[in-house]
């Protein structure tokens, strides 16, 4: 893997994004209702030109953007990332991209990536949502679960089984507008404060014009999208880890205990040193993975898996350690670390759980 360093312009741009997040985006996030799509926040992301950076920006740009937003406003980071995840597959179809991407980039239309099912999470090839042949196309019948932005999105990238018993080779991706008859769902109350829900398909009609890519090749669409976004999940985690480290360091410098600032206690200072070292190591792994993806390197799969694995586990450690340094005040509702504690758990599961990343890395060792 190559070593990596940002240039001055990249540092300057990241600082600008952090300023926007703190000054313009965080107030909109705080005014929104937890667990609901925040359309004013999306509109602001569009006005600032940040959503436009998703298409067709590089993996490194995406990582820098997600890390910078996450340090100041995790809601803005997640709103942006979900737009990218839901809409990126549409680039496979010029007609669908022309219809939806401008509206997604402006923040007018909300996109969602609908892959996971009650019985198909980490084993995405096991999905069962049925696409049954019908005049002019297919009818979708079944359920999707734990879908971000559901059921409030305007368009869903839906993965359905067009060939029974064919595993990954029998899946097709469809762009399904929210107003299609037979499509419904409800919100799920989750640990993290983001819009997540269940979708139900009752013979929802889709046609050839809704197919993303090729029939029975939808699993490739899903994996291409996830491979692009996997390093940036690590960037989201790095942003949270850095926010936790900054908060812990500031608290340790100002809080007095046993006659001295907390930072003078070796147990605290060594914990901060460990947090800083792990966070920087995670950051470098993420940047290296993004660079590998952008250059088409043969080790992209291994690098991306390592980045997501290490960064998300590091963020969990850093947030937990920061809570410990703060003590009970960090557990109060509304405290930054209480918020981060709820945010940090999910990235170790979605877009490939920690255990899946270890399996990918191990497989690559013997390839």
Catalytic residue among 30, 351, 355, 364: 351
Give the pLDDT confidence score for residue 120 in this predicted structure.
79
Question: Is residue 311 domain-shared with residue 243, that is, in the same domain?
Answer: yes
On the 0-12 / 13-18 / 19+ scale of CB atoms within 10 A, 344 is buried
1 occurs within a structural domain: no
Q: What is the mean pLDDT of residues 31-51?
A: 96
Phi, psi of 282 (to 5 degrees): -60, -45
What pTM, to 2 d.p., does this model score? 0.93
67 occurs within a structural domain: yes
243 occurs within a structural domain: yes
Which range among 47-51, 55-59, 113-117, 131-135 shows the weakest confidence by mean pLDDT? 55-59
Question: Is residue 251 domain-shared with residue 315, that is, in the same domain?
Answer: yes
Local confidence band at 257 (pLDDT 50, 70, 90 cut-offs): confident
- Residue 208, domain extent: 111-217
Q: What is the mean pLDDT of residues 328-347?
A: 95
With vertex at residue 367, the alpha carbon angle to CA 223 and CA 222, rounded to the nearest 5 degrees, is 5
Catalytic residue list contains 351: yes
What are the residues facing 144 on neighbouring strands?
199
CA distance 144 to 158: 9
Which range among 58-72, 91-105, 251-265, 331-345 shows the weakest confidence by mean pLDDT? 251-265
Question: Is residue 227 domain-shared with residue 350, that is, in the same domain?
Answer: yes
Q: What is the CATH number of the domain that holds 40?
A: 1.10.540.10
72 occurs within a structural domain: yes
Give the pLDDT confidence score for residue 166 in this predicted structure.
87
CA distance 156 to 367: 35
The residue assigned the tokens 């419904």 is 184
Question: Is residue 224 domain-shared with residue 88, that is, in the same domain?
Answer: no
Q: Which one of 186, 217, 248 terminates a domain? A: 217
List of residues 6+ apart from 69 with CB closer than 8 A: 17, 18, 21, 25, 50, 76, 77, 80, 239
Question: Is residue 175 domain-shared with residue 242, that is, in the same domain?
Answer: no
Give the pLDDT confidence score for residue 6 in this predicted structure.
82
Query: How many domains does one find in the chain?
Result: 3
Phi, psi of 137 (to 5 degrees): 160, -120
Give the pLDDT confidence score for residue 297 in this predicted structure.
92
Give the pLDDT confidence score for residue 260 in this predicted structure.
85
What's the whole-number average pLDDT of the chain?
A: 94
E strand segments, the chain = 111-114, 130-134, 137-148, 155-161, 171-177, 183-187, 196-207, 211-212, 256-257, 260-261
Give the pLDDT confidence score for residue 4 in this predicted structure.
63
Question: Is residue 224 domain-shared with residue 361, that is, in the same domain?
Answer: yes
Question: Is residue 121 domain-shared with residue 242, that is, in the same domain?
Answer: no
3 occurs within a structural domain: no
Question: Is residue 171 domain-shared with residue 292, that is, in the same domain?
Answer: no
Local confidence band at 124 (pLDDT 50, 70, 90 cut-offs): low
198 occurs within a structural domain: yes
85 occurs within a structural domain: yes
2 occurs within a structural domain: no
Peptide bond just before 84 cis, omega within 30 deg: no
Q: With H, G, I as helix, E, B as strand and everything else as coil, classify residue 190.
A: coil
CA distance 290 to 296: 10
Q: What is the mean pLDDT of residues 205-221?
A: 95
Q: Which one of 153, 188, 217 terminates a domain? A: 217
The proportion of the chain whose per-residue pLDDT surpasses 90, expressed as a percent, equals 86
Question: Is residue 228 domain-shared with residue 337, that is, in the same domain?
Answer: yes
Q: What is the DSSP letter of 332?
A: S
Tokens of 192: 């993290």
CA distance 56 to 44: 20
Phi, psi of 196 (to 5 degrees): -140, 140
Give the pLDDT confidence score for residue 351 in this predicted structure.
87
Torsion of CA 276, 252, 264, 241, to 10 degrees: -10
Question: Is residue 118 domain-shared with residue 90, that is, in the same domain?
Answer: no
Q: Which one of 167, 202, 217 terminates a domain? A: 217
Q: How many CB atoms lie within 10 A of CB 260?
A: 9
Kindly tell me if the per-residue pLDDT of 354 is higher than 60: yes
The residue assigned the tokens 């089984």 is 161
Kindly tell me if the per-residue pLDDT of 215 is higher than 50: yes
What separation, in Å, do the N-terminal and C-terminal C-alpha atoms of the chain show?
17
Q: What is the CATH number of the domain that holds 210?
A: 2.40.110.10
Whether the CA torsion 132, 138, 139, 145 is positive or negative: it is positive
Question: Is residue 224 domain-shared with residue 332, that is, in the same domain?
Answer: yes
On whether the CB atoms of residues 247 and 339 are closer than 8 A, the answer is no
Kindly tell me if the per-residue pLDDT of 363 is higher than 60: yes
Give the pLDDT confidence score for residue 1 in this predicted structure.
37
Most confident region among 104-113, 126-135, 293-302 by mean pLDDT: 104-113
Question: Is residue 187 domain-shared with residue 242, that is, in the same domain?
Answer: no
The proportion of the chain whose per-residue pLDDT surpasses 70, expressed as a percent, equals 98
Instruction: Report residue 90 CA to chain centroid gap.
Output: 17
Q: What is the mean pLDDT of residues 28-40?
A: 95
Q: What is the mean pLDDT of residues 8-30?
A: 96
Give the pLDDT confidence score for residue 259 in this predicted structure.
86
Q: How far is CA 17 from CA 26, 49, 230, 277, 279, in A?
A: 12, 11, 21, 24, 20
């Amino acid at each position: 893997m190559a070593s990596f360093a940002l240039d001055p312009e990249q540092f300057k741009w990241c600082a600008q994004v952090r300023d926007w997040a703190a000054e313009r985006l965080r107030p909109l996030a705080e005014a929104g209702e937890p667990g609901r799509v925040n359309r004013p926040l999306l509109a602001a992301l569009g006005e600032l030109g940040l959503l436009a950076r998703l298409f067709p920006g590089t993996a490194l740009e995406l990582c820098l953007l997600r890390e910078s937003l996450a340090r100041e406003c995790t809601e803005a980071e997640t709103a942006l990332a979900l737009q990218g995840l839901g809409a990126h597959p549409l680039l496979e179809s010029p007609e669908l991209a022309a219809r939806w991407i401008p509206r997604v980039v402006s923040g007018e239309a909300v996109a969602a990536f609908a892959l996971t099912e009650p019985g198909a999470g980490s084993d995405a090839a096991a999905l069962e949502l049925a696409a049954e042949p019908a005049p002019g196309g297919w009818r979708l019948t079944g359920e999707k679960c734990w879908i971000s932005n559901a059921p409030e999105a305007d368009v869903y990238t839906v993965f359905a089984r067009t060939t029974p018993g064919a595993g990954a080779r029998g899946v097709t991706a469809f762009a399904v507008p929210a107003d299609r008859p037979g499509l419904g769902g409800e919100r799920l109350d989750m640990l993290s404060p983001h819009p997540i829900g269940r979708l139900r398909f009752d013979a929802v009609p889709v046609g050839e014009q809704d197919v993303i890519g090729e029939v029975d090749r939808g699993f490739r669409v899903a994996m291409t999208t996830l491979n692009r976004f996997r390093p940036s999940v690590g960037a989201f985690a790095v942003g949270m880890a850095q926010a936790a480290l900054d908060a812990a360091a500031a608290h340790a410098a100002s809080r007095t205990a046993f006659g001295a600032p907390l930072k003078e206690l070796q147990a605290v200072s060594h914990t901060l040193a460990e947090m800083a070292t792990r966070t920087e190591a995670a950051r470098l792994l993420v940047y290296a993975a993004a660079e590998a993806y952008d250059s088409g390197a043969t080790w992209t799969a291994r690098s991306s898996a390592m980045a997501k694995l290490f960064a998300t586990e590091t963020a969990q450690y850093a947030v937990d350690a920061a809570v410990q340094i703060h003590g009970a005040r960090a557990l109060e509702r509304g405290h930054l670390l209480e918020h981060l504690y709820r945010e940090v758990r999910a990235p170790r599961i979605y877009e490939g759980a920690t255990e899946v990343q270890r399996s990918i890395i191990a497989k690559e060792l013997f390839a």
